[in-house]
Amino acid sequence: MQRLKAKLVTASQVEMTELVIPNDTNRLGNLLGGRLMHWIDIAAAIAASRHTNRVCVTASLDELHFHHPIKQGEVVILQASVNRVFRTSLEVGVRVTKENLLTSERQHTNSAYLMFVAIDNDGQPVPANPVRPVKSVEKRRYREAGHRRKLRLLHRQRG
């Protein structure tokens, strides 16, 4: 079998920016949780596909906690990076930050970890290129992804 070449984390990073408009909000003027989850999934899927040069499908999303509301008129910045690859699956982390355009204030609101599977034209899982962390933060995320994978596998075994 052919050995896949490792890719740098920076080669597939994504930064997506969205403006929160009335159609994105609930009756309190806060961003709908489902809309944010949709944006997180898109940013993560782009990073996964950039890394693998394949279609990647969402396999799971770890816990998502809403630390601060995001209001209508604020900007949402989503930053996605591949943290680690485990043969056919890969973990992508997404950091969500809100920005008030009138004050330039930014605040971290959410972090999410998603698992994707790279697939071929028949929809079958295929091996993905390993990721090569270089910066200390990338190495830390790589290690932490290994711990999260162990927890996911334990959770799956317990059913």
In angstroms, the CA 52 to CA 121 distance is 14
So what's the pLDDT on residue 154? 87
Question: What tens digit of pLDDT does each residue of 65-96 get?
Answer: 899 999 999 999 999 999 999 999 999 999 99
Q: Which domain holds residue 106?
A: 7-158
In a domain, 2, yes or no: no
Quote the mean pLDDT of the chain.
95
Number of separate domains in the chain: 1
Q: Is the Cβ–Cβ distance between 30 and 69 less than 8 Å?
A: yes
Q: Indicate the pLDDT class of residue 2, thresholds 50, 70 and 90.
A: low
> At 20, which CATH number?
3.10.129.10
Phi and psi for 125 in degrees, rounded to 5? -60, 140
Question: What tens digit of pLDDT does each residue of 30-73 get?
Answer: 999 999 999 999 999 999 999 999 999 999 998 888 999 999 99
Angle at the Cα of 47 from the Cα atoms of 42 and 49, rounded to 5 degrees: 90
Let me know if 58 is exposed, middle or buried by CB neighbors in 10 A (0-12, 13-18, 19+). middle
Sign of CA pseudo-dihedral 17, 22, 23, 25: positive
Q: Indicate the pLDDT class of residue 12, thresholds 50, 70 and 90.
A: very high
Q: Indicate the pLDDT class of residue 102, thresholds 50, 70 and 90.
A: very high
In a domain, 107, yes or no: yes
Token pair for residue 156? 């799956």
So what's the pLDDT on residue 63? 83
**Closest alpha carbon to 54 in 114, 133, 128:** 128
pTM of the model: 0.93
In a domain, 69, yes or no: yes
Q: Is the Cβ–Cβ distance between 54 and 2 less than 8 Å?
A: no
SS3 60: strand
